[in-house]
Structure formats: C-alpha cells, structure tokens
C-alpha cells in the first residue's frame, strides 16, 4: 500500500494513544502488544507526533570497541548512506545494545541536523540524547535517557530488527510515536486508520461534551455512555 502526504498528516494530527485506540477500532479487538511498555522522554514534548517507516540500526557505547578503526568507519558511512536513501516518510529507529544502562548519546546537535537534512521525520531510540537546546528545529527525538557524553558510541548493525522498550520493530514497519511512547501500525489496520480516527473522535465527543455541561450528573453520564456504546457497535 502506498500512502500520500495527506495520510501521514492525518496520523500526525493525533497523539499516539489515539492511534493505539484507532488500531483497535479497525481490527475490532483490543491489543496486548504492538506498543512500547516503558516510559520514554521527548526532546521537545510540544512537537507533533512522528509517523513513518522504520529505518533501523543498533549502536553500542559503554565500552571501547575491539574492532579495527576502518571497520567502524566503513559501517558508519554505510549507516549514513542507508538513512540518506530512506523514503519520504521515514523514522530512524535505533536500539542501544547497552540498554537499560545506556551511557553514550548518539542524538544531539549534529545527528539531528544530518538526519533532518536527509529528510527523516524524527528518531525513536531507547538510548541517550543530549544538546536538547541545540537540536535541529522541528526534529523530534523520542529516547530513553538524557546524558552529556557520547562515550564510545558506534554503529553495530544496520537494517535489522530492533527491540525498544519491549517493542520489536522491523525495517519498514509503520511507526507512530510521541511523548507517550510508540506503536507499530499493523498492515491490516493501515488502510482504514484515518476513517477509524474520525469515528473514534466522534464517539468520544459524546461523553466529553456531556461531561463539560454544568448540569452533568450520573444520570446524564449513563445516557451519554449508552449513546457512546451504541456508536461503538456500528
């Protein structure tokens, strides 16, 4: 399936919890997986969510490498070429193999500028970020920690499945992420997701509007909830 800019704009217009709910609307059942299970940190919580296809890699930083310098340098350039050749709607998804004791910040002023220049929408990582006030404008990083040093950080693998915060992500998976965490949008839910978001917002509005009325009571809540349930069954 090929989705245009309007599709991704519609998904970025709502938060990640809303996407998680909308996936359930499309699939017709609740989900016990497909989402992160740990607390994340957003470099700039005021930015819109990021949504796109995963470009994956693994890094390590806690201890010095035993590999030759030229091997590390070649892999680094292969990583940047891989990211530069990503599709228009892509996200860098990076697993830090030192997790949960990550120490080396791969994301800061330089790498956010480079990846933004390559056209990526943002970054999801279980690793460390820094330079919060100097990151590329509008480029979101959803990370596991904040720290001052890059330590011995280097690329270990490119274009392989990764695991972040209890969520397994494969290259090419469609990801939605914000300050709440991230979800993988299953292929079976992608085509119907925009319509599901609209339905979900309309349903929730029934209860939310009732709750904002000055005469809101348990009886009016019951009535609103009954209407909400009726809409959910359609």
Distances (CA, A) of 104 to 77, 101, 153, 197, 219: 19, 10, 6, 38, 55
Q: Averaged over 140-144, what is the pLDDT? A: 98
Percent of the chain with pLDDT over 70: 99
Give pLDDT tens digits for 19-42.
999 999 999 888 889 999 999 999
**Residues 80, 103: Cα–Cα separation, whole Å:** 22
Judged against a pLDDT cut of 90, whether residue 232 lies above it is answered with no
Give pLDDT tens digits for 156-174.
999 999 999 999 999 999 9
Q: What is the pTM of this model?
A: 0.94
Which CATH code is given to the segment(s) 35-187?
3.50.30.40
pLDDT given for residue 234 in this prediction = 63
Average pLDDT, the chain: 96
Judged against a pLDDT cut of 90, whether residue 53 lies above it is answered with yes
Query: What is the domain partition of the chain in residue ranges?
Result: 35-187, 193-232
Confidence of residue 233 (pLDDT cuts 50, 70, 90): low
Judged against a pLDDT cut of 90, whether residue 185 lies above it is answered with yes
Which DSSP string corresponds to 112-147? HHHHHHHT--EEEESSEE--TTTSPTT-EEEESEE-
- The pair of three-digit structure tokens given for residue 105, joined into one six-digit string: 């910040």
């Amino acid at each position: 399936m090929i989705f245009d800019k309007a599709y991704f704009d519609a998904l970025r217009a709502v938060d990640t919890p809303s996407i998680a709910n909308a996936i359930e609307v499309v699939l017709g059942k609740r989900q016990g997986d497909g989402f992160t299970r740990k607390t994340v940190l957003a470099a700039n919580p005021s930015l819109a969510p990021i949504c796109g296809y995963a470009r994956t890699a693994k890094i390590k930083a806690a201890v010095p490498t035993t590999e030759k310098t030229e091997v590390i340098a070649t892999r680094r350039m292969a990583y940047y070429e891989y990211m530069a050749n990503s599709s228009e709607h892509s996200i860098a998804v990076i697993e830090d193999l030192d997790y949960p004791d990550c120490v080396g910040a791969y994301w800061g002023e330089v790498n956010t500028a480079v990846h933004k220049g390559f056209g990526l929408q943002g970054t999801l990582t279980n690793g460390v970020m820094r330079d919060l006030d100097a990151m590329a404008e509008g480029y979101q990083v959803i990370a596991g920690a904040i720290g001052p040093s890059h330590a011995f950080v280097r690329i270990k693998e490119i274009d392989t499945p990764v695991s972040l915060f209890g969520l397994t992500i494969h290259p090419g998976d469609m990801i939605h992420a914000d300050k709440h965490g991230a979800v993988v949008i299953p292929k079976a839910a992608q085509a119907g997701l925009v319509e599901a978001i609209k339905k979900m917002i309309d349903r929730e509005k029934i209860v939310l509007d009732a709750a904002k009325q000055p005469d809101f009571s348990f009886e009016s809540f019951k009535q609103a909830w009954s209407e909400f349930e009726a809409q959910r069954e359609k």
